[in-house]
Structure formats: C-alpha cells, structure tokens
Amino acid sequence: MQEAYDIPSPVGVLRLRPERDEDQDFRYRLFCDSRQPEFALLLAAPDFERIMRFQYRAQTVSYRAEFPAARFDIIELSGEPIGRIIVDRPGGMLHIVDQAIAPEWRNRGIGTAIMRALMAEAQTAGLPVRLEVSSANDPSLRLYQRLGFVPIETVALYMRLEWRALATQSERPC
C-alpha cells in the first residue's frame, strides 16, 4: 500500500493519501461538481443524475484500466476530503491524469501548491510533467500557463500541456 504524504499550502498542510472504498460518495460528488457545467444545460434533472452516474462509473473503470500503476489520491485538509488527484509515473514523464478540487476550496492556492510539489519531484528526476485539460476550462488553463506549462497538442476538445524544468547554468551548453 502506498503511503500518505503532506504538501504545505496557503490554507494549511494538505495530506495526499490513497483512495479508499469509503471515498466513493465524495469522489462522485467531486466528479459531478467538475462536470456539471458541461452537462447541466443539456439535461433535465432525472437525466442528469442517470448520465452522471454512468459517466462517473465509466471514467473510474477507464482510469483504473488505462493507468494501473498510477497513484489515486484523496486530498485532505484537517482530515476532511477536499479534492483528488491521479498521477501516473510511466517511464520518461510524470503524467497528471486527473485533478479536481471541491468548489468551495478552489482559488485558494491548493492546486498551485500540489502542482509545484509535483513539478519539484519531476525536476529532481529530470522528467517532464504532462497533463490534459479541457480547452474550455479557463481557470485551469490560466493556472497551468502561469506555472510554465506549454501546449504540445490539441486532441478534440482537450489540450495536452507539458512542463519542463529549465536547465541549470551548469547544464546549459556553451
């Protein structure tokens, strides 16, 4: 079993710990919160719930199958779940598969703190960081661009972004 670890943030120390079965309700609520803008305008309430349950199950199965070695973590603050992150570390890169913060905790520096910790890990290992984000997700795009991520590919409605550490003076060619 993977161990939990802590990341300092502007709101306090965040604990990232492996997902557990009892996190399922929280993960579903978080999924709905992050997808509601996409589906709410298109679907009536009964259809919304049914479609969201289906989409949540499909995403869960897909992520587990496609990224079997990834870390699936819940982000906690003072013992309460406030988000989730899935990070895969295939050879040659650090891939952020999914990251979501509960709406009431957004725009407080939590995502930035987590991303900076992952970027530091990648820099130490000499790896790039890659992720995909919806082209319509302006807040996330601004965050990633502010952190130095650059677009490397557009696939359907998503942009693939990459961050690479700048070479240190001793690593730069003459």
Looking at the predicted structure, is the pLDDT value of residue 168 above 60? Answer: no
92 φψ region: left (φ > 0), alpha (ψ -120 to 50), beta (else)? left
Mean of the per-residue pLDDT values for the chain? 90
Residue 132: is it exposed, middle or buried by C-beta count within 10 angstroms (0-12/13-18/19+)? middle
pLDDT for the residue 1: 56
* Residue 170's pLDDT band (cuts 50, 70, 90): very low
pLDDT for the residue 57: 95
pLDDT for the residue 171: 47
Amino acid at 61: V
Q: Say what the pTM is.
A: 0.88
Bridge partners of residue 80, in order along the sequence: 77
How many CB atoms are closer than 10 A to CB 50? Answer: 11
Looking at the predicted structure, is the pLDDT value of residue 74 above 80? Answer: yes
pLDDT tens figures, 46-65: 777 888 899 999 999 999 99
pLDDT for the residue 174: 45
Residue 114: is it exposed, middle or buried by C-beta count within 10 angstroms (0-12/13-18/19+)? buried
**Is 5-171 assigned to CATH 3.30.565.10?**
no
pLDDT tens figures, 91-147: 899 999 999 999 999 999 999 999 999 999 999 999 999 999 988 888 899 999 999
